[in-house]
Structure 1
Amino acid sequence: MSKNVLITGTSTGVGYEASLLFAQAGYKVYATMRNLDKAKNLREVIKSSNLPIEIIELDVTKTATIEHAVNKIIAQDGKIDILINNAGAGFAKTLEQATEDEIRWVTEVNYLGTVFCTQAVLPHMRESKSGRIINVTSVGGLVGQPFNELYCGAKFAVEGFTEGLASYVGPNFNIQFTAVEPGGIRTEFMNSAIDKTSVNGQFAEGEYQPIFEKYMAGTQERLSKSDIPLYQTGKEVAAVILEVAQQENPPLRIRTSTWAEQFCALKTQADPDGTKLVNTIASNLL
């Protein structure tokens, strides 16, 4: 019997590529997205390649759509073997510049969506005593970065959420948790971040503007001198997600590129994949 995988945020980018890779690897894929009008490309590939992918509407900021999607899958197949919390959105703007609505939005999309999708799927995995939950976070979930404090804050929350669940749900119910941490990705994610968060093409204003310009100039200089590529394709990141899903003993966390590994080295060198710490916590506290 093939395994079922539920993937959020599949209209473009990593989620789109992961849907194709998992289906090609023999999984039954439930590809979900907020706006089904954006499903045209995926539908065409499904039809031309006869892939086992079903597209379902799911908006991670609306719990009713999450519950509806999960209930539909359980009614059809009776199980969800893997949940990939991929949906997210970039956000680059100073805290002072951000509106209350924007702060709530970036938190809902990047953190609470993961929480509510996991909450909906977890009872079914717990009942079957098996499952995998893979949360796509970011190097921004380990390292805070200028002009990304709100995005990083949400991704830090996903990291703590993942680690907390892994410390007791994992060993007691045979459910495995992994945080996948990409660096830069060449997808619509970046374009969406620019469209959503810039104000007249700027991510900062007032006294922050010269700091932002200095930051960007330094970033460009470092990129030009680096022999390690910063940006990955969505397919390259999706390949890491598939690899994690197929491992018997997956890591608690994994970076998806050499650049991401080096960027986070000071935070991760004592316990690169997080397994040592979470196992220690589980053994000492339970």
Structure 2
Amino acid sequence: MKTVLITGTSKGIGHETALAFGRAGYKVFATMRNPDKASDFKQKIKSESLDISILKMDVDSDASVKQCMDTIIQKHGSVDVLVNNAGIERHGSIEELTMKDFKDVMETNYFGVLRCTKAFLPLMRKNQKGCIVNLASVSGHISSGPLGAYAASKFALEAFSEALAGEVKPFNIRVAIVEPGIINTQMANDISVDEKSIYPHSKRLAGLFSASLQTPTPPTLVAEKILEIAESNSWKLRHPVGPDAEPFIAWRASMTDEQWVDWNATNDDDWYEAVQNTFGLDAR
């Protein structure tokens, strides 16, 4: 039986990914910071008779990651697939976000992935097989206010993953970067207007997310893609997911850096009109 460890499984994409792998016959180690709050998840596992073990792990902590890894290795010997999904979001202008906000986002979204990868990589290398799936984002290609802190962490994750892929391929370890667009998760729904901000970008982005979520893309779509990657023999590195992912990335790529800066710096009317004309979304 193949084994998979998934981080951040208490809700959203991680939760659905754990269920997808469990239903596909994997032994799943579903990790989260607070397993005591997973009563509904535990009931679903029981009702479907899935081979899913919920384990406590905080990706921000070296000790927590090591303890969880040691428990798994002692009982089961190896992990075939590692899905680094755990992530957090803080939105606000560069000026108005605190240094703690920046550090918290980077600690979980970048160092957390690095910490888990480094913990399990030696075993995969020894076994000469493995698959590592890192959850990045369209924001790993596109950076604009008020998601500067979040985008910085995802840009870093993209760079780290690309380097890792070249290092571990000779050991038959596949690395994949999954890049969701706007997905109907709590994180996406929490993008809100900062009424106190002196910058207009908070209101604009909240409107864009709200308009997109009127026709929501479920997290199950991302979970299915992650399972597909694990089940395949593909060495494809980047996997945009969702109907808006590739269009968003292509849209940014069609502009020069200066055009992108100018578009973000434009007045509200022109910004909203551009979104309406390009994506058919009324973000007002």
TM-score (norm 2): 0.83
Q: How does 1:64-79 map to 2 (within 5 A)?
A: 64-79=63-78
CA distance in structure 2 between the aligned counterparts of 1:220 and 1:24, rounded to whole angstroms: 31
Letter in 1 for 2:171: F
1:282 corresponds to which residue?
Answer: none
Cα deviation, residue 79, structure 1? 0.5
Letter in 1 for 2:183: I
Cα deviation, residue 173, structure 1? 0.8
User: Structure 1 residue 234 and structure 2 residue 248: aligned?
Assistant: no
Tell me, what secondary structure is at the counterpart of 1:87? coil
1:183 corresponds to which residue?
Answer: 181
Cα RMSD, aligned residues only = 2.2
CA distance in structure 1 between the aligned counterparts of 2:229 and 2:105, rounded to whole angstroms: 27
Query: Could you tell me whether the CA contact under 8 Å between 1:13 and 1:188 is conserved in 2?
Result: yes
Q: 1:251 aligns with which of 236, 244, 258?
A: 236
Cα deviation, residue 155, structure 1? 0.4
Letter in 2 for 1:179: I
1:40 corresponds to which residue?
Answer: 39
Change (3 A) 1:267 1:214: closer
2:7 corresponds to which residue?
Answer: 8
Cα deviation, residue 211, structure 1? 4.6
1:124 corresponds to which residue?
Answer: 123
Change (3 A) 1:41 1:211: closer
1:85 corresponds to which residue?
Answer: 84
Equivalences, count: 254
1:146 corresponds to which residue?
Answer: 145
1:108 corresponds to which residue?
Answer: 107
Change (3 A) 1:128 1:267: farther
Cα deviation, residue 190, structure 1? 2.7
Letter in 1 for 2:44: V
Query: Could you tell me whether the CA contact under 8 Å between 1:90 and 1:190 is conserved in 2?
Result: no
Name stretches of at least 5 consecutive residues in structure 2 with no aligned partner.
255-284
CA distance in structure 2 between the aligned counterparts of 1:179 and 1:93, rounded to whole angstroms: 26
1:208-250 CA distance string (max 9 Å, x none): 1x45445555x379x48xxx98742111111111111111114
Name stretches of at least 5 consecutive residues in structure 1 with no aligned partner.
270-286
2:171 corresponds to which residue?
Answer: 173
Letter in 2 for 1:78: G
Change (3 A) 1:211 1:259: closer
Query: Could you tell me whether the CA contact under 8 Å between 1:93 and 1:203 is conserved in 2?
Result: no
1:78-100 CA distance string (max 9 Å, x none): 10100000000122111111112
Change (3 A) 1:66 1:149: same
Change (3 A) 1:211 1:51: closer
1:56-114 CA distance string (max 9 Å, x none): 00011111111111111111111010000000012211111111211110111111100
CA distance in structure 2 between the aligned counterparts of 1:189 and 1:88, rounded to whole angstroms: 9
1:124-154 CA distance string (max 9 Å, x none): 1001010000001100011112210110000
Letter in 2 for 1:181: E
Query: Could you tell me whether the CA contact under 8 Å between 2:139 and 2:151 is conserved in 1?
Result: yes
1:262 corresponds to which residue?
Answer: 247
Letter in 2 for 1:111: Y
Larger mean Cα displacement after TM superposition, 43-52 or 228-237 = 228-237
CA distance in structure 2 between the aligned counterparts of 1:32 and 1:215, rounded to whole angstroms: 31
